[in-house]
Amino acid sequence: MAHVEEVPQDTPVDPEVEKQRIAAERAEQEKLPYQWRQTLQDVTIIVPLPEPTRAKTLCVEIKKRHILAKSLLAPSDAAPFIEGDLFNDVVVDESTWSVVDGRELSITLEKVNTQEWWPHVVTGAPKIDVRRIAPETSRLSELDSETRATVEKMMFDQKQQQMGKPTSEEMRKQEILKKFQAQHPELDFSQANIEM
């Protein structure tokens, strides 16, 4: 089983060592009897099948934290395509499988925790370095209202700064100052040096 060491993100990495590590990781993944990819929402497993294969000749069991996929036509001592405890829980009722063109088994596992990357599908399989995964681009409409408001504020502030205009926080402070000045006309602010 591969050992993955946590390395702080600001630790310099020798490019040659990193290149070798990536090549070794890729070689480990290519030895698996399946390919897999993931988003934050799901994991998709693709198993090449001997042609032609029909769905009724397969046994696919998806449980909350376990998976089994095998051919019913294979000898009883044949290894399954994939079997083991999953890295984390899946939503069983929303996870699906299908045979594509009689050539491949496609399994989609819906993640319970949609805020994490999986280093492997099943425990004991070679791991990938999840720190190298580029985050997905999210649509604002997919975010909850609080996160969306924060992102929109950050985007507005960034745009304002690029144009040399005040950010939302600076505008808020200016508004407070204007109200204070209006409430206290007896005070002279003409010589005041107020930084926002």
Q: What is the pLDDT of residues 15-48, one digit of tens each?
A: 888 888 888 888 888 999 999 999 989 999 999 9
Q: Output b/e per residue, 112-150; b: 16+ Cβ within 10 A.
A: eeeeebbbbbbeebbbbeeeeeeeeeeeeeeeeeeeeee
CATH class label, 15-135:
mainly beta
Q: Residue 171 to residues 67, 99, 139, 193: CA-CA distances in angstroms?
A: 55, 58, 27, 17
Domain boundaries, the chain: 15-135, 138-196
d(CA 61, CA 85): 12
Banded model confidence at residue 11, pLDDT cuts 50, 70, 90: low
Q: pLDDT tens-digit profile of 105-146?
A: 999 999 999 888 999 999 999 998 888 777 666 677 777 788
Amino acid found at 128: I
